[in-house]
Structure 1
Amino acid sequence: MTEKRKAPEGISGFPVTPFNESGNIDKEALTKNIEFLLDEGLESIFVACGAGECTNIGMEEFEEMTELAVSVTGGRAPVYTGIGGNMSESLKKTEISERKGADGYLILPPYLIQGEQEGLYEYYKAIITSTDLNAILYQRGNALLQLETLKRLTDFPQVVGLKDGVGDMETNIEFTQEIGDRLGWLNGMPMAEVTMPAYIPLGFNCYSSAISNYIPHISRKFYEALKEGDEDQVKEIYEDVILPINRIRRKRKGYAVALIKAGMEIVGLPVSNTVRPPVTPVEEEHYEELRGVLKDALKKYPPNREAAL
């Protein structure tokens, strides 16, 4: 891959979509969310994706968020948008992404329909070839590519990476062995820190971090320990932070998004525990449980900033 056609590496930031009291997007809070991620050194920004409640974002809101993300980032990191759902809306979003100056997009699954491999190929092809922007394929839900389909899609230079949100390691081994460094490999499992030790040996050198929205320094410490082979540090952060938060995340559907906002609110970032249906806010009992985990974590692994607990 060339420098232009290079997939993100390291830790990717996935800003949430903050809402104000009127239920509209809080642009000031979104700006601070992105600035915080950049200041913490995250290597890429993915806006209006899963953590950003992409399925609940209107087209005008998508355009506003894309423009804001590109402006705030200012070239400090590549900006990717979330594309997916029905074809018509997907192509409108690719046009917006290109016009507003994004570096590429993450292609999420088409809505509901279980397509054959040829249908998935045509879906991806139409989106990929609609612009010259980089494209990352998302292996998730009802869009599960087989090796031969993925190989066909690598004929398009716009395709720079594949993000795995399934956890089928047999398939991942097959993909990485057959395709190698033609693609960048991203771990997109829910709370990817949990599974990253299994992905690194396969060549995955990037992951999307939910907890980086509120404790990015701990995610960074964990990732560096993984790369350096510091098993004691990895085990310690697993026990103190990652597994306790993951246990809370698994208690309710939608917490993959809602728990991020709760964590941000707890540490004093300008995001309220407010989401759009069908996602529901974090329940008080689980909110306080998360507060306790974060209080202990920040005491043991203090950040360079002050956390409001």
Structure 2
Amino acid sequence: MAQIELDGLLAFPLTPFTEDLEIGLDRFAENVESHVAAGAGALFVACGTGEFSSLSVGEVAALLAKAREVVAGRVPVWVGAGGGAAAARAGVAAAQAGNADGVLLLPPYLVTGPPDGLVDYVRYAIGDTSVPVIVYHRSTGVFTAAAAAKLLDLPSVVGIKDGYGDVEAMTRIVTTIRALGTPRSAEFLFFNGLPTAEVSAQAYAAIGVARYSSAVHCFAPEIAHRFHRALGENDTEVMDALLAGFYLPLVALRDETPGFAVSLVKAAARLRGDKVGTVRPPLVEPTAEQIDRLGKIVENGFAVLKGR
């Protein structure tokens, strides 16, 4: 398999819903175009921020098709798959059939297993496909370093995205894989996939995990790109200012209610005029008071951004 290049800031478009909570493909097309225009390095549609867990197989396929139509080859388009073993296998197959550039494979649904069982889950999901796969390390899919190294035996697995948040564990995974000393281990990709990844970006970059996805790109790409550039330049002054004035207050609000890693992003996008609708249950919308605070946090973020 050719080496996969996923550089720049990775964006995860929201899935717009109508008032009756049906997907709005026209609104989604606008959303996708805005990400590309803002400079996203790649798009991951129907993933965590895109409410993968609430979508049907047909809806995921429709979102992938629309994204590919809009993007027209300008940036890579990856798509989510996962859940139960059979659903994950069907999702990976559908991604290949839909000409996705790759798949973000989310963890097993509800149950977990020992490390070798997780490797088998990935193997089963891939089946006889060849579409590139990034394995999401989180929740019911937490890999040991030894199990993560076994993923390199699966040719289409090109990387691991960490949403677990244990820097020591991720250091073990990165070091174990790089120490294999093969061309494949040298090319293997690592991603920081924590919610509001900018808060942990410096710590992860220090262990060789500089790539990350930014939910903030959905509503404030200007802030997201400035932080990303500062990280690449090791400009701690800019990073500290944006963390203190924007990201940390945003995270504090996010942590008030389960699911706000998505709900707040949608609310912020609506505040900026995007027609993305509300979230599907069991996620809930912020209260009026929380939305007011969210607006002030975003406003302050842009104030901090001025002159930087």
Q: TM-score, normalised by structure 1?
A: 0.93
Q: What does 1:61-80 align with in structure 2 at a 5 Å threshold?
A: 61-80=59-78
Partner of 1:211: 216
- In structure 2, how many angstroms separate the alpha carbons of the residues matched to 1:234 and 1:302? 13
CA contact (8 A) 1:10 1:43 kept: yes
- In structure 2, how many angstroms separate the alpha carbons of the residues matched to 1:207 and 1:240? 21
Residues 234-258 of structure 1: per-residue CA shift (max 9 Å, x gap):
1111111111111111110010110
- In structure 1, how many angstroms separate the alpha carbons of the residues matched to 2:210 and 2:189? 8
Partner of 1:263: 268
More deviation in 17-26 or 178-187?
178-187
Alignment partner of 1:195: what SS?
A: helix
Size of the alignment, in residue pairs? 300
Of residues 237, 245, 255, the one that matches 1:240 is 245
Does residue 278 in structure 1 map to residue 282 in structure 2? yes
- In structure 1, how many angstroms separate the alpha carbons of the residues matched to 2:306 and 2:279? 29
Of residues 17, 20, 42, the one that matches 2:18 is 20
- In structure 2, how many angstroms separate the alpha carbons of the residues matched to 1:174 and 1:18? 38
CA contact (8 A) 2:86 2:125 kept: no
Q: Which amino acid aligns with 1:85?
A: G
Q: CA deviation at 1:302?
A: 5.8
Does residue 104 in structure 1 map to residue 102 in structure 2? yes
In the alignment, structure 1 segments of 5+ residues that lack a partner are 304-309
RMSD of equivalent CA atoms:
1.5
CA contact (8 A) 2:146 2:176 kept: no
Does residue 287 in structure 1 map to residue 291 in structure 2? yes
In the alignment, structure 2 segments of 5+ residues that lack a partner are 179-185
Residues 16-60 of structure 1: per-residue CA shift (max 9 Å, x gap):
111012221011111111111111111111111111111110111
Alignment partner of 1:65: what SS?
A: helix
Partner of 1:131: 129
- In structure 2, how many angstroms separate the alpha carbons of the residues matched to 1:7 and 1:190? 23
Q: Which amino acid aligns with 2:60?
A: F
Query: Could you say if the C-alpha distance between residues 135 and 7 of structure 1 is closer, same or farther in structure 2, counting changes exceeding 3 Å?
Result: farther
- In structure 1, how many angstroms separate the alpha carbons of the residues matched to 2:17 and 2:151? 37
- In structure 2, how many angstroms separate the alpha carbons of the residues matched to 1:103 and 1:117? 27
CA contact (8 A) 2:242 2:305 kept: no
Percent identity at matched positions?
Answer: 32
Q: What does 1:47-62 align with in structure 2 at a 5 Å threshold?
A: 47-62=45-60
- In structure 2, how many angstroms separate the alpha carbons of the residues matched to 1:152 and 1:240? 42
Q: What does 1:146-225 align with in structure 2 at a 5 Å threshold?
A: 146-180=144-178, 181-225=186-230
Q: CA deviation at 1:157?
A: 2.0
CA contact (8 A) 1:7 1:183 kept: no
Q: CA deviation at 1:127?
A: 1.6
More deviation in 178-187 or 294-303?
294-303
Q: Which amino acid aligns with 1:225?
A: A
- In structure 1, how many angstroms separate the alpha carbons of the residues matched to 2:245 and 2:115? 42
Partner of 2:89: 91
Residues 153-187 of structure 1: per-residue CA shift (max 9 Å, x gap):
10222111110011111111112122123311100
Q: CA deviation at 1:147?
A: 1.6
Of residues 287, 292, 305, the one that matches 1:301 is 305
Q: Which amino acid aligns with 2:22?
A: N
Residues 173-212 of structure 1: per-residue CA shift (max 9 Å, x gap):
1121221233111000111000001011211121111111
- In structure 2, how many angstroms separate the alpha carbons of the residues matched to 1:227 and 1:182? 20
Residues 210-268 of structure 1: per-residue CA shift (max 9 Å, x gap):
11101111111112112212111111111111111111111100101101100101111
Q: TM-score, normalised by structure 2?
A: 0.93
